[in-house]
Amino acid sequence: MKKMKFKLTTTHRIMISFLLGILIGSVLLALPVSSATGKSVPYIDALFTATTSVCVTGLVTVPTFSTWSLFGKIVILILIQMGGLGIITIMSGLMISFHRRIGIADRILIQDAFNLNTLSGLVKFIRKVLIGTFVVEGIGALLYMTVLIPDYGTKGIWMSVFNSVSAFCNAGMDIMSEDSLCAYVNNPVINVVTCMLIILGGIGYIVWWDVIRVLKNIKHDKGRCIKKLTLHSKIAISVTIILIVSGAVAFFCFEYNNPATIKNFSLFDKIQASVFQSVTTRTAGFATISQKDLTNASAIVSLLLMFIGGSPVGTAGGVKTVTMAVLVVATFATINNKDEVEIFGRSISKQFVSKAVSVVCISFIIMFTSTVLLAAVTDADVMDIAYETVSATATVGLTRNLTPLLNVAGKIIIIITMYLGRVGPISLVIAFKIKKEDKNIIKNPVEEISVG
């Protein structure tokens, strides 16, 4: 009889770290001191808020700006920062700060947390990630202050810091109003700063370092700087640009004559509102126009952009830009009867193609299951339900006003969906995979089948 072994792997530790962060955060948020009224918030709402913060999703059952006290908001901010960077990253950063040695087990944990292909230079990588994050968030906060301090006085400083961290971590939570950033739909500074923070957080850290490396050498070879980027960076940057531009054009066209969104805006304001909607659907969760009032065409485009999300090794969710690019290129390679999957003059191994297929399929299964379950416990419109579940699966945070109306069962479904979306589909499968002791590996016979 074959023996079944279950070993606590690095993937399990990463999942447990997020779970512990959620549970500790929920306990803190359930305390009376975390509530603006001094009375404890129902635990289910505290748990929901802790989950959406750690999973950097942004869906909320209670208004963030009015429900929580300063202490509660600080707890939420810390949870967002931990969730965006990853709890493993924070712990590793503390170990580095206290000059503690990072052992091989810790290095493997960091490698898995960031989905990296090497163990070398991980300590330097963590240090650069932390410094880069705080520098970008600091600059974002200062830029926000130019608008929020005149509007809110000294409170604008705290709001700017909160918004900057939330935008960079793609959390989409704010402490200004119930309508997210709708009051600033026509403000270029808020729009540009928020979009840049979302893009920088979602593009991925390894793209940062690659672009910086190329820019340092731009004096020596100006004509070939783009070609010197790694394949990963080329794919991540090109797909990001394509999605933002095509999404903005789609929203501009579909919402142009929609009186509930941008019909009465000037041409410039229509453009910036369309660009913002295209950027924020890539797992950020901020909104400058009502998601409930979008046309059906715009809502469907939003679902697609949310499902794709940002890029790997960043703060964004979704199946990721690189994953979709590999899948699309592989599809056309199959159609054209090509043996190799090629992109930018490079071949993609079958292993990565298989992984891309797995990521998309498992994410779709999570999203579909969540949609069916939520539809079973609520009478909401199907588009509102789909918006909610895709948003939760891809850790986006946009809603068509359904989140505050969820019953307890609905809240539990979305909590689980957000958690599964944050830990990632591949991690989920690896975590529940039980290894079997089998010294004699016997391959099954191959038989052809018909597909398509």
Among residues 61, 85, 83, the alpha carbon closest in space to that of 133 is found at: 85
The rounded distance, in Å, linking the Cα atoms of 278 and 151 is: 27
In a domain, 19, yes or no: yes
What SS3 class is residue 9? Answer: coil
Q: Which residue has the higher pLDDT, 109 or 152?
A: 152
Please tell me the predicted confidence (pLDDT) of residue 230. 87
Q: Which residues of 372-393 are buried (b: 16+ CB within 10 A; e: fewer)?
A: ebbeeebebeebbbbbbbbbbb
Residue whose tokens read 């635990």: 43
Q: Picking from 4-18, 74-88, 159-173, which range would have the lowest pLDDT averaged per residue? A: 4-18
Cα atoms found within 13 Å of the Cα of residue 44, Cβ hemisphere only: 12
Residue 104's Cβ-count burial label (10 Å; 0-12, 13-18, 19+) is exposed
Please tell me the predicted confidence (pLDDT) of residue 224. 63
Q: Picking from 151-160, 330-339, 376-385, which range would have the lowest pLDDT averaged per residue? A: 330-339
In a domain, 422, yes or no: yes
In a domain, 208, yes or no: yes
Q: Picking from 75-84, 209-218, 228-237, 432-441, which range would have the lowest pLDDT averaged per residue? A: 432-441
The rounded distance, in Å, linking the Cα atoms of 91 and 102 is: 11
Residue 226's Cβ-count burial label (10 Å; 0-12, 13-18, 19+) is exposed
Please tell me the predicted confidence (pLDDT) of residue 435. 47
Backbone φ, ψ for residue 39 (5° rounding): -110, 140
Q: Which residues of 14-25 are buried (b: 16+ CB within 10 A; e: fewer)?
A: bbebbeebbeeb
Q: Picking from 89-93, 156-160, 324-328, 413-417, which range would have the lowest pLDDT averaged per residue? A: 89-93
In a domain, 405, yes or no: yes
The rounded distance, in Å, linking the Cα atoms of 318 and 311 is: 8
Residue 252 belongs to what domain range? Answer: 7-433
In a domain, 345, yes or no: yes
The rounded distance, in Å, linking the Cα atoms of 171 and 79 is: 10
In a domain, 416, yes or no: yes
In a domain, 281, yes or no: yes
In the predicted structure, residue 277 carries a pLDDT above the cut 70 = yes
Q: What band does 257 get if pLDDT is binned at 50, 70 and 90? A: very high
Structure tokens of 226? Answer: 């783009």
Any idea what the Cα angle at residue 76 is, between residues 71 and 77, rounded to 5°? 95
Please tell me the predicted confidence (pLDDT) of residue 434. 45
Structure tokens of 411? Answer: 């809240």
DSSP assignment of 401-412: S-GGG--HHHHH
In the predicted structure, residue 270 carries a pLDDT above the cut 60 = yes
The rounded distance, in Å, linking the Cα atoms of 414 and 80 is: 18
Q: Are 312 and 285 in contact (CB under 8 A)?
A: no
In the predicted structure, residue 417 carries a pLDDT above the cut 60 = yes
Q: What band does 215 get if pLDDT is binned at 50, 70 and 90? A: confident
Q: What's the gap between Cα 86 and its chain centre?
A: 12
Q: What band does 103 get if pLDDT is binned at 50, 70 and 90? A: low
Q: Are 97 and 60 in contact (CB under 8 A)?
A: no
Q: What band does 225 get if pLDDT is binned at 50, 70 and 90? A: low
Residues of the chain with pLDDT > 70, as a percent, come to 81
Among residues 94, 131, 126, the alpha carbon closest in space to that of 113 is found at: 126
116: left (phi over 0), alpha (psi -120 to 50) or beta: beta
Q: pLDDT, tens digit, for every residue of 125-167? A: 778 888 888 999 999 999 999 999 999 999 999 999 999 999 9
Please tell me the predicted confidence (pLDDT) of residue 352. 86
Residue whose tokens read 């945070």: 397
In a domain, 286, yes or no: yes
Count of structural domains within the chain: 1
One-letter amino acid for residue 7 of the chain: K
Q: Which residue has the higher pLDDT, 420 or 17?
A: 420
Residue 292's Cβ-count burial label (10 Å; 0-12, 13-18, 19+) is middle
Q: What is the mean pLDDT of residues 407-431?
A: 81
